[in-house]
Chains A and B, each alone.
Chain A
């Protein structure tokens, strides 16, 4: 009897499990395999905001609507992290890159400025752009029990430590970079590498009319910042069979190395139609190589650097700049504070960065400021002066 009842019950149980699983797809976990399971509700508004950041990105540089990359955006339920209103100033840990270049310096300062504006106590640790050092930093910061943590990831090697911090109940926001699923982060707030690269690749396609010889210059082999962009640009070029990539090189984001690479390129391919590059700093070497030889610089792309804008001022060099704003750290802090209020936050925020071309160069160049300044800068003038960036 019992046996027969079990036999009848088993299909019902199986059906219940299948139904539960089906219902579960409406509330997915944003953390993948590790870290605390955070429910994430699909949100049309959040998805639309993300997709809009793609569709509208090309308009300032005369490109049509870009097709979004298919990232699924949902709203993370953060009520478990909500603090009491009377629990005093929140403490947010900032596992930063550290001031290793102008961009990182501005990234740090934008975070500290926003923290001051919003009454936040900051626990700060600089990784000096080193992932190993950042692993220790995250551990140290987590041990001080901050209310939330913002991490500028220095590489996939820190994933385990971010997950450990999340496992301790600290809401982590990834900032100006990303990690693979399973990091336990609540949200990733960053300018999409893929969007940057797609924008610049589409501009190259437009400049060349979809056919011609181009070269690709990337930062460092194996570094996600460079490789994600390279892959996204290659995807665009693959859709245009008239585009022939004659050379793919790495510059190490060094103007010296990029000048050496560009000198070589100029010798081998004097009829190059355009150069796709992921960096304004690398572009400095390219411009120097062509100008020194008395040759016109092919149309080129890059991210925003005051040094580059100064170098091409007064020339007829055609270029498109796709910024990676250092001030995105302020948006990261805002997201962390939303989490501490228990507000639902998007699992993925694409920070806005207005692209521009040589036609608007004068509007964005700051000849009175340091080469290191990332333009356009949203930091106040007195702070830029104090940092000796202006």
Chain B
């Protein structure tokens, strides 16, 4: 079990030996947040208005819920590109099943959870049983689900979302948007699960060296499968949050890959190669990304500008991670 701790940067004894590049990589997202906050203060003083900060918190909650699931998957050495499809399925099921009425909402939520469970299980089966590379498997599932949605809705997903769901996306608790509290609660649960449970430790082993883990008796397949299923269920929750936030089925959002959760985890420092990272890093990435996204809107950068900045941040994070891996290898 100690092997599982060793492969987690910042938490294991190996972290200290990685030297300056590792420290740089760990501090870079925090430094990024500070830089964005300072630049926003200078360039866009209105950035610190209450409504704007609320927007940042909502974004953090919405992206964060999915980023937790994506972090679990990334720790196994995988990636889940089907989350956008799960968001879409959730919105379509809620709108079509309830037709805007509150009464059928529990049934719709159960149906959406069932659909998420199924999609997560298909991802898991493809990756674990059929050994399909996660990128290919989850992208194929994304396309497949999009096709099914297009066929079912005749390409026009629409409908009203029950008012009862409004609070989940647009409600407030202690002055902050409810989604950010949901994210905080799930983050705490996830952090405990990763650090204190057998499942969490096995997740690191499965991601760092699945073969060695299996030789040591760790059944990595079930652990990996669990990560994909949890990711899908968290995407269902995010779908409900978004449907509640906007009060409509958003056909544009439903047809996008939605790479924000991956971006947040990677920017925070979770390794794309698996076995390294923790939810504290995901939190940092989520905060950074939410700040940048809202700031870009304030600057009038448009979606192209937002994607460009997001891409640059991911690239910088990947380069820093590469530097850290190189330093780690050299130090051994």
Contacts and interface: CB of A to CB of B under 8 A. Distances in A.
Given A98-B155, A101-B155, A105-B155, 6 more contacts: A99-B156, A222-B304, A250-B303, A252-B252, A281-B251, A371-B160
A253 interface: yes
Interface string A319-340: 0000000000000000000000
B298 A268 contact: yes
Contacts of A140: none
A234 interface: no
B158 A371 contact: yes
Contact of A249 (B156, B255, B300): B300
A105 B157 CA distance: 11
Contacts of B35: none
Interface of B: 46, 49-52, 54-55, 59, 150, 154-156, 158-160, 170, 242, 245-253, 255, 294, 297-298, 300, 302-304
Given A253-B252, A255-B246, A264-B52, A99 B303 contact: no
A371 B159 contact: yes
A307 B158 contact: yes
B56 to A, nearest CB: 10
Contacts of B54: 263
Interface residues on A, range: 35 or more
A172 B235 CA distance: 45
**Residue from the set B46, B59, B247, B252 with the largest chain A CB neighbour count within 10 Å:** B252
A236 interface: no
A267 B303 contact: no
Contacts of B253: 254, 256-257
A63 interface: no
Contact of B55 (A128, A263, A388): A263
Contact of A260 (B46, B247, B297): B297
Interface stretch (A8-16, A110-118, A284-292): A284-292
Q: Taking chain B's interface residues, is the majority helix, strand, or loop, or is none over half, making it mixed?
A: helix
A176 B102 CA distance: 39
Contact of A288 (B46, B51, B247, B303): B247
Contacts of A102: 156, 158
Nearest to B249: A371
B250 A264 contact: no
B323 to A, nearest CB: 33
Contacts of A310: 160
A262 to B, nearest CB: 10
Contacts of A263: 51-52, 54-55
A254 B252 contact: yes
Contacts of B59: 260
Given A253-B252, A256-B253, A370-B159, A247 B300 contact: yes
Contacts of B170: 292
10 contacts: A100-B156, A101-B156, A102-B156, A249-B300, A263-B52, A267-B52, A268-B52, A284-B248, A293-B51, A371-B160
A101 B249 CA distance: 12
Contacts of A221: 302-304
Given A101-B156, A105-B156, A264-B55, A259 B246 contact: yes
A213 interface: no
Given A101-B156, A292-B170, A264 B251 contact: no
Nearest to B44: A268
**Residue from the set B155, B249, B300 with the largest chain A CB neighbour count within 10 Å:** B155
A30 to B, nearest CB: 33
Contacts of A259: 245-246
Contacts of A307: 158, 248
Given A256-B246, A293-B51, A104 B155 contact: yes
A104 B255 CA distance: 15
A378 interface: no
